[in-house]
Each structure stands twice: as structure tokens, then as C-alpha cells.
Structure 1
Amino acid sequence: MSVFIAWLREWLADTELVMLLSSLLVIFLLLMLLIPVLAPLLFAIAVAYVLDGVVELLRRCRIPRMLAIAMTVGSALLLLLFALLTVMPLLTAQIGRLVSHAPQYVQSLRDMLQQVQTNHAEWINPDYLQQVIAALAAKMQEWGGALLKFSIASIPGMITLLVYAVLVPVLVFFLLKDKHQIIAWAQQFLPRERTLLQRVWAELDTQIGNYIRGKFWEAFVVGLAMWLSYWLMGHDYALLLGVLTGLSVWVPFVGMAVVTVPVVLLSYFQWGWGETMAYGVLAYLVVQTIDANLIVPWLFSEIVNLHPIAIIVAILMFGSLWGIVGVIIAIPMAALVKSVVSIVLERRLAGAEKG
């Protein structure tokens, strides 16, 4: 017991470290409690990080800041309106087509598996195969029902979506316009001993900004490349697969593994076994290879390197806490934990050297 008390006194003697950990704990608890309410603000902050890079680029061209902000936000709203009027109807039509053809695709999958069992009867247990077919059919029907249910249930949410469509652009504009004033105002609620907290914030601000901007452009480029590839090949669900592939980059490792299943299945339903399907899957693999070896190193050169195990653990932990929002912000939160742990170890080593 005396050893624990001595250790506790040693830690409490480091006032700056105590203030840092206490402040982070309070912020974390507030997010846990208020994240449903603050969802529009958090989304606006993410968009502001993306657009802030464009604003800074325009400022380097000697354009006044207010004019640069107005041009950036206005252009973003026009692009959003264009997407809502052109992309969303096409995407909705493809989802509807997928749902309506789901029974046909289930039967096609069943026939394919039965053909595999016939050709390799000595390797495959027919009873087990029937169970697999039944499970796949039930799962595909469940997914189709979920899509229909989502489309129907989302009708009341259109009012909320319209409110967000008004609130988020306004929040983004003022976040860009009054960024420094907002930060100065928030600092009033922090403890006076905040040297370490400011150091963590400086590192995290850079990392989050680079991460969100990088992920946005990575998702856009990868999704666009996937859509163009499959559109040129005449795939009926080219836009849907492009959107799914673009969204998958927000979830490292897991996203690619999950989206590969619909890519392969829809390619099989579209073309069947043959050269065209092979070319389609090859195009998908080429896009993923270019993303992993060219786009990611270029966009994320300034992001703190994290081990794949640390990334997966962060996805599991923060995903269980905050759902899809936690999955998306898992890497920035892991970078925050890494920064804090580095400071703790640094202070501990400095204290050991003094002792």
C-alpha cells in the first residue's frame, strides 16, 4: 500500500501532466454524453477541415480571406447541389434495381453453388452446401428488406436532413471565418497550466486536419476511379460500387475486406464466370493497389505512423463506443492516445533522470 501511495504522490506532483490528463478526461466524457446532440457540429468541423485547405490555397494566391471563404463555401454548396440532383437519383435507381433483382440473384447464386457441388461432389458435403445456400439466400433477402425498410424509414428523417442542410453550411462558414476567435474562446475554459495540453492540441490539430483532408480526397479519387472503370465496362451498378469503394477507405483494412464481397458478387451477377468478370475484379484490384501504394503515401506522409494492430484495436474500441462515427475517427483518436502516452513516458524518463 505504501508503494502505491508513493507512486500516486509522484504522479500528482507533476501538475502539468495531471492537468493534461484531467482535461482530456473531461472532454472525453462530454463527447460521450453529447455526441448525438453535437453530431451536426462535429460533421461541420470535419467539412471545415477539408475546406480550410482550399481556403489556405486561395490565400496563397493573394485572395483575401473572406473572399476565399465565400468562394470555397459557395463552390462546395454548388457541388453538393449538383450531387443531390444528379448522383443521388442514379444511386437510388441502382439500389432499387438491386433490391428488385435480389430473388433472381439469389437463384443465380444457388445454381452456381449447386454446379460447384456437382463438379466436386467428392470434396463438398451436399447437406452442408444446402445449409450454406439457405443461409446466403436468407442473408441476401434480409439485406434487401433492410434496404427497403431504410428507404421507407428515412422519409420522416428528410425533415432532419433539411435542417442539417441549413445548419451545417452556416456552421462551416463561421468555423472558417472565426476559427482563431473560437479557439481563443474555448481556451478560457482550460486550466492555466496547459503547456502540455497546447502541445497535444498542436500535434492533434495537424494530424486531424491532414487525416480528414487526406481521407476525403482519397475517397473521392478511389470512388471516382472505381465508378469510371465499371461504367466503361458497362456495369449496371457502377455508381453504387464506386460509392461503396469510396466509403470503404474511411475504415482501414476492414473497409476493403467488406466491400470486396459486393464487388465480386455483383460482378458475377452482371457477367457470370468469364473474362469480363476477371477484368472487372482485376480493375478493382488495380484501383486498390494504386490507392495503397501511391495515393495513401502521398496524402498521408505527415500523419503519425501507427501499427496495423493499433489501428484495428482503435477501430474496435471507438467503434463500440460511438458506432460508425467512432470507426471514422478511430485513427485520429489513436494518434491522440499515442501523443499522450509519449508525453507520459517522456515526463517519467525526465523524472527518473532527476532522481
Structure 2
Amino acid sequence: MSIFINWLRQRLADTELVMLITSLLVIFLLLVLLVPVLAPLLLAIALAYVLDGVIELMTRCRLPRMLAIGLTVGGALLLLLFALLAVLPLLTEQIGRLATHAPQYMQSLRDTLHQLQANYAEWINPDYLQQIIAGATDKMQEWGGALFKFSIASIPGMITLLVYAVLVPVLVFFLLKDKQLIMSWAQQFLPRERTLLQRVWRELDIQIGNYIRGKFWEAFIIGCAMWVVYWWMGHDYALLLGVLTGLSVWIPFVGMAVVTVPVILLSYFQWGWSDTMAYGLLAYVIVQAIDANVIVPWLFSEIVNLHPIAIIVAILMFGSLWGIVGVIIAIPMAALVKSVVSIILERRHGAVGSESG
């Protein structure tokens, strides 16, 4: 016990480290309490990181910053308008079509499983097959109910979406325009001993900026590629699968595994066991391979290096805390934890070295 008390006293004697941990705990508690209220601001900050990369590229081409901000925000607003007027109605129509045809698709899947059992009776247990069919039926009914509720609740959802469509661009514009002013104002609320906090912030600003920008463009490229390929092949749910594939890149490892299931099922419902289905799945595999071997190394050359186990643990922890938002920000939060732990270990080794010297 005395060893722990001595260790604790040594840590508390490090004023800067105590200030760093205290400040991070306060910020974390504020996020936990105010995430629902601050959701538009957090979304605006993420979009500001994305657009700031485009603005920096324009300023390197000797374009005035204010003009670069105006052109970038104007282009983003045009893309948002296109998404609201063209993409969102098409996506809603495809979700409604899927909800309508869900019972028919479920019956087709049930018939296929029974046919497999009849052809391979010696390999497939009938009781186990019935459990699979019952579980799949319940899951499809659950998804269908969720889609139906989504369509019923679309009016308030659209109102919220319109509020975000107005509020978030305004926040993004001022975050980009007054970036330095906001940073200077925020520093007034930080402790005076903030050398370590500034160090952590500089590291995270680079890492999180690269991560958000990289994930955004990766999701955009992969989602559009899947949409275009499946649209060209005549898939009824091309946009829906493109959106699901784009969203899946925000959840490392798990996202690709989860989205593969609807890709296979909807391709089967669309084309059956045919060459077209095989070509569609081959296209999906090629897009994922290009993503893993070309796009990710290109976009994430400077991203923080985290072990896969650390990434999965972060997804589980922050996902249970904040849901889908926690899953999306799991890697930046894990990078923050890694940075703080590195500082603690560094100062511990420094203290041990000074004592031994």
C-alpha cells in the first residue's frame, strides 16, 4: 500500500501531468453530458476538418483564404442541395421498396434453404435449418418494422434534417473563417500549465484531421463506386448498397463484415443464383480490394498506428457509450488515449532516470 501511495504522490507532484489529465476528464464529462445538445456542433467540426483540407490546398495555390473558404463552402452547399433534392428521395424510395418486398424476399430465402436441405439432407440437420429460418424470419420482420417506422416518422425526421441543413453550414463557415480566433478564445478556459495539453492537441489535430478527411473521402469514393457499378448492372437497390458500403468504412473490420450480408442477400433477391449475381459479388470484392490496397494507403499515410485489438476494444467501449456516434469516433478517442499514455510513460521513465542519476 505504501508503494502505491508513494507512486501516487510522485504523479501528483507532476503539475503539468495532473493538469493534462484533469482537463481531459472535464472535457470528456462535458461531452458525455452534452453530446445530444452539441451534435450539430460536433458534425460541423468534422465537416470543417474535411473542408479545411480543401482550403489549405487552394491557399497553397496562392488563392486568398477568404476566397478559398467561399468557394469550398459554396461547393459543399451545392453538393448538399443535390443530396437533399436528388439522392435522398431516391434512397427513401429504395428503402420503401425493400420494406414492401421484404415478405416476398423472406419466402424466397425460405424456399432456397428448404431446397438446400432437400438436396443435401445428409449434411444439413432439419431442426437446425428450421431454427435458422425462424431466426432469419424474425430478423427480417424486425428490419421491416424498423423501415416501416422510418417511413412513418419521416416528416419529423425531415424537419430535423432541414434544421441541420441550415444550422450546420453556418457553423462550418464560421469555424473555418474564425478558426484562430476561436482557438485563442478557448485557450482562456485552459489551465496556465498547459504545455502537455498543447502537445497532445498538436498531435491529435494532425491525426484526427487526417483521419476524418481520409475516412470522409474513402466513404465517398467507395460509396459512389458501388452505386455506379450496381446501377450499371441494373440493381434495384444500387444507391442503398452504395450508402451502406460507404458507411461501413467508418467502422474498421466490423463494418465490411456486416455490410457484406445485405450485399449478398439483395444481390440474390435481385438476380438469383446466376452469372450476374456472381459478377455483382465479384465487383464488390474488387471495390473492397481497391479500397484496402490503394485508397487506404494513399489517404492514411500519416494516420496514427493502432493495433487491431486496440481498435476493436475502442469500438466496443465507445460504441456502448455513445452508440453509432461512439463507433465513428472510436479511433480518434483511442488515439487520444494512446497519446496521453505515451506522455505518462515518457515522464515516468524520465523521473526514474533522474532518480537513478
Using structure 2 for the length normalisation, give the TM-score: 0.98
Kindly report which structure 2 residues correspond to 1:232-311, keeping only aligned pairs within 5 A, or say none: 232-311=232-311
CA-CA distance at 1:142 after TM superposition: 1.5
User: Which stretch shows the higher mean deviation, 151-160 or 241-250?
Assistant: 151-160
User: What is the root-mean-square deviation in Å for CA atoms of aligned residues?
Assistant: 1.0
Distance 1:274 1:85 in 2: 35
Supply the AA of the counterpart residue of 2:2: S
Residue 43 of structure 1: aligned partner:
43
What TM-score comes out, normalization by structure 1 length? 0.98
- CA distance in 1 between partners of 2:154 and 2:199 (Å): 43
User: Where does residue 155 of structure 1 map in the other structure?
Assistant: 155
Identity of aligned residues (%): 82
Hey, what's the Cα distance between the residues in 1 that align with 2:281 and 2:164?
38
**Is the partner of 1:156 in helix, strand or coil?**
helix
Q: Give CA deviations for 1:165-192 in whole Å, capped at 9, x if unaligned.
A: 2111110000000001101111111111
Are 2:229 and 1:219 aligned?
no
**Which residue of structure 2 lines up, in the alignment, with residue 6 of structure 1?**
6
Q: CA deviation at 1:274?
A: 2.1
Q: How far off is 1:127 after superposition?
A: 2.1
CA distance in 2 between partners of 1:57 and 1:216 (Å): 17
Which residue identity lines up with residue 293 of structure 1 in the other structure? N
Using the TM superposition, give the Cα deviation of residue 57 of structure 1 relative to its aligned residue in structure 2, in angstroms: 1.2
The aligned amino acid for 2:330 is: A
Counterpart Cα distance in 2 of 1:215 and 1:268: 29
Structure 1 residues 72-130: Cα deviation after superposition (integer angstroms, max 9, x where no partner): 11110011101111111211111111111111101110010000000111111212212
For 1:28, the aligned partner's letter is F
> Could you tell me which amino acid in structure 2 is paired with residue 135 of structure 1?
G
| Number of the residue aligned with 1:326 | 326
Find the aligned partners of 1:138 and 1:188 in 2 and give their Cα distance.
55
Question: Could you say which residue in structure 2 is the equivalent of 1:19?
Answer: 19
**Pairwise CA distance, 1:157:** 3.1
Contact 2:12 2:18 in 1 (8 A): yes
| Distance of 1:297 and 1:332 partners within structure 2 | 18
For 2:338 and 2:43, the matched residues in 1 are separated by 24
1:176 maps to what in 2? Answer: 176
The match for 2:347 is 347
CA distance in 1, matches of 2:83, 2:164: 16
Structure 2 unpaired stretches of 5+: none
Q: Distance in 2 between matches of 1:151 and 1:250?
A: 25
Deviations 1:116-149 (A, max 9, x none): 0001111112122122112212211220111110
1:123 aligns to 2:118 (yes or no):
no
